Amino acid sequence: MEHSGGCLIYTDGGCVPNPGAGGWAALIIYPDRKVELAGFEPATTNNRMELMAAIQGLRHIPAGSTASVFTDSEYVKNGITTWIPGWRARGWKRKTGVLLNQDLWMELDTLNSTRKITWSWVKGHAGNLNNERVDTLVREQIERRR
């Protein structure tokens, strides 16, 4: 996996059921410490929680920072690295119409454009300890409130 220097950010989000109660988590790994962030929404979707995890992770680091973000969401990875220029050019619309989660995509785009971010996809539930940690944090957020 490519690493751009700076900190590492692992993100995850989920819902039980989907849509339903959701949680998000971000693990930020600095050279000298780790920071865990997590949150809950009572009525949301899996994709919104995946986006919120990435947003919260990037909000935690200052503008101008360098980071490598690792997500197990192809939706987030493809959206921010491939699809977003087209959505922006079309006034935040998909070729086929409405862009779901437009509010979160716009915020993620702003945060991404003011930081030096490398985005990578990691396979979920495949033994990556940092990905497993954010998955656990997500499940804890949901279970604590159900």
HSE (CB half, 13 Å, CA atoms) of 27?
18
76 — pLDDT class (breaks 50, 70, 90): very high
CA gap 24, 140 in Å, rounded:
10
Q: What is the pLDDT of residues 17-49, one digit of tens each?
A: 999 999 999 999 999 999 999 999 999 999 999
- Are 25 and 53 a contacting pair, CB within 8 Å? yes
Q: Which of 12, 23, 41, 57 is catalytic?
A: 12
Active site residue 135: yes
Domain extent listing, the chain: 7-145
Is 143 assigned a catalytic role? no
Q: Which fold has domain 7-145?
A: Nucleotidyltransferase; domain 5 (3.30.420)
Q: What is the pLDDT of residues 87-145, one digit of tens each?
A: 999 999 999 989 999 999 999 999 999 999 999 999 998 999 999 999 999 999 999 98
Question: Which pTM does this prediction carry?
Answer: 0.95
Read off the pLDDT of residues 129-146 as tens digits, 9 standing for 90 and up: 999 999 999 999 999 987
**Known catalytic membership, residue 132:** no
